[in-house]
Structure 1
């Protein structure tokens, strides 16, 4: 192996970290990625919408019934086409991450990190777009008139007598940990 190829090779430790990153991506599929928690005097225990990469859970029927009064569209898996393919994108990213671990090539790792960043930004923009659509396309004939609003991706929002808390789910923390594991070899093998 010549010196040029040797300089582009990642250490075995880095390859193991990248392999662990692939495992964390797969694990993330089984946990919620995002949640909205709704609290009001009549629901002190709270209602929630829990978003997994492939399904919605929570008290969605109750929330949809309440949202009807302000003219908001129903939350449903059919209204989020991403839930039909997101799990495949994550699985594909896990496979690419595993291939990167096997190849141990710095340039491939840089490409993988770029895919993570682009995918993360696309996911944030997609979620913001969905929240904007739900909060601004209110039926003007609804029983209760509300000014358009955009729920935050992370944070608190008050609509009528409901306070909503938008938080990241455990699955996203696994993805963030996977991304950090990819960055460690960049620093660790910088002089290799």
Structure 2
């Protein structure tokens, strides 16, 4: 078994690098808020060169009434660091492809998985603190009410409907991860083994 990445794997890694570098400069995630008083809705965008962006001013105005902390983009260093981290992964994928190294490909895939897990843990931690650490002197207080937005999917928050899902960059990043995973499985011979088993069974 050769330690050199196949041409198929090489091209997929290059494609993954392209998707990853594009995702570094556009929003990865979005939280949409809908309510009767905001017929056009409000949106909070996470990722991209701004780190965190969208309708921050009206969202901060709403936060004031229920005692939630205001959002200041400069306070979210992890979101501001995302473009650099993703560009680093893109470079890692590209180098893996150009030198056709299986070991570097496997290593970059492992790091990418760890990065994804840690990112969601950090996102959950932020949303939890954001929705639970409320100002006791807020104008509007609902006993037992917390305002943690959903990590993924839908949640009702008073008269607001909150939707959390990937933005364009998030889909591109997932696509990059799928491509790298395909390369790893292909180079490890997983698909060949599955195909042989099916052939024997038939």
TM-score scaled by length of structure 1 = 0.91
Of 120, 123, 135, which residue of structure 2 is paired with 1:124? 120
Q: Report the counterpart of residue 9 of structure 2 in structure 1.
A: 14
CA distance in 1, matches of 2:161, 2:116: 27
Q: Report the counterpart of residue 99 of structure 1 in structure 2.
A: 95
TM-score scaled by length of structure 2 = 0.87
1:177 paired with 2:172, answer no
Deviation of 1:23 (Å): 0.8
Q: What pairs up with 1:153-192 in 2 under 5 angstroms?
A: 153-191=151-189
Deviation of 1:127 (Å): 0.8
Q: What pairs up with 1:44-123 in 2 under 5 angstroms?
A: 44-55=39-50, 56-123=52-119
Moved more, 124-133 or 79-88: 79-88
RMSD, matched Cα = 1.6
Q: Which has the higher contact order (CA 8 A, sep 6+)?
A: 1
Helix, strand or coil for the counterpart of 2:27?
Answer: coil
Helix, strand or coil for the counterpart of 2:42?
Answer: strand
Q: How many residues align?
A: 187
Of 22, 26, 35, which residue of structure 1 is paired with 2:30? 35
Helix, strand or coil for the counterpart of 1:87?
Answer: helix
- Aligned structure 1 segments of 4 or more residues deviating by more than 6 angstroms: none
CA distance in 1, matches of 2:168, 2:77: 22
Query: Where in structure 1 are there 5+ consecutive unaligned residues?
Result: 1-5
Question: For the Cα contact (< 8 Å) 2:45–2:54, is it kept in 1?
Answer: yes
CA distance in 2, matches of 1:190, 1:17: 15
